[in-house]
Amino acid sequence: MNENTKRGKFIVFEGLDGSGKTTQMKLLSKFLESKGEPCYSTHEPTDSPFGGLLKSCLTGRIDTDERAIAALFAADRLDHITNSVNGIKKKLDEGVNVFCDRYYFSSFAYNGEFVPFEWVVELNRPAREILRPDLTVFIDLPSDESMKRVARRREVERYETTDKQKKIRERFYSAFKRFPDEKIAIVTSEEDKERTQAKIREAVLPLFGL
């Protein structure tokens, strides 16, 4: 990183399926860019070969064990952080603010429900040691509402049932308690996306002195 370049901020968006993470990231990115802040949005699973394999597992095109899925998420994440083309660290070092749709708390919540939680923590220890978010925004949504929104928009994936989403939501909160040193902002998802965005900006903008 050039010594004159200010390191970018790394902000992660977490939540149940259908919580509106992608929409909220776009709104925040557009606002910050209007203030002269360069922004880059990304997501997990990624579009890399690791991510492509994961998506096939999640949609059921490949039938595999939950432990294999957890390990694939961890591998995809490490490549996402460190790859030399468009890795998160590279972007941050160039002074670009990075918004990521899902990160290691998703592994703790989703994978940690179906395989031993502490094992998932260990799998993701390298990612936590290399790069922690400046802020994780958790967009909270009841599990029944999550499934209503998912049903309106696309095919249902591996973890998308009301019962699983309820357990995953509980696991998110357990993970937040497990890592009290992480900076977490919990925002309730509203039907009015602008109201949700206002609450997100209230949590995020102090990072930029705005």
pLDDT at 146: 54
Of 101, 104, 81, the closest CA to residue 91 belongs to 81
Q: Which residues pair with 135 in a beta bridge?
A: 11
pLDDT value at position 58?
81
Q: In the structure, what pLDDT confidence band is assigned to residue 41 with cuts at 50, 70 and 90?
A: very high
- Supply the pLDDT for residue 201: 98
Residue 151 C-beta-side C-alpha neighbours within 13 Å: 8
Percentage of the chain exceeding pLDDT 70: 88
The pLDDT assigned to 144 comes to 57
Q: Does residue 28 surpass a pLDDT of 80?
A: yes
Q: Give the strands of the sheet with 135-140, arranged side by side.
A: 39-43, 97-101, 10-15, 135-140, 184-188
pLDDT greater at residue 154 or residue 176: 176
Q: Where is pLDDT greater, at 141 or 113?
A: 141
Q: Which token pair is 144?
A: 């029944």
In this predicted structure, the answer to whether residue 22 has a pLDDT above a threshold of 80 is yes
Burial of 191 (0-12, 13-18, 19+ CB in 10 A): exposed
Q: What is the 3-state secondary structure (H, E, C) of 108-170?
A: HHHHHHCCCHHHHHHHCHHHHHHCCCCEEEEEECCHHHHHHHHHHHCCCCCCCCHHHHHHHHH
Residue 8 bridge partners (DSSP): none
The CA distance from 85 to 49, in Å, is 14
What is the pLDDT averaged over residues 128-142?
94
Dump pLDDT digits (tens) for 48-90: 999 999 988 887 788 888 899 999 999 999 999 999 999 999 9
Mean pLDDT of 153-170: 69
CA distances from 134 to 97, 148, 179 (A): 10, 31, 14
Q: What is the mean pLDDT of the chain?
A: 89
The whole-number average pLDDT for the span 146-175 is: 70
- Mean pLDDT over residues 128-139, rounded? 97
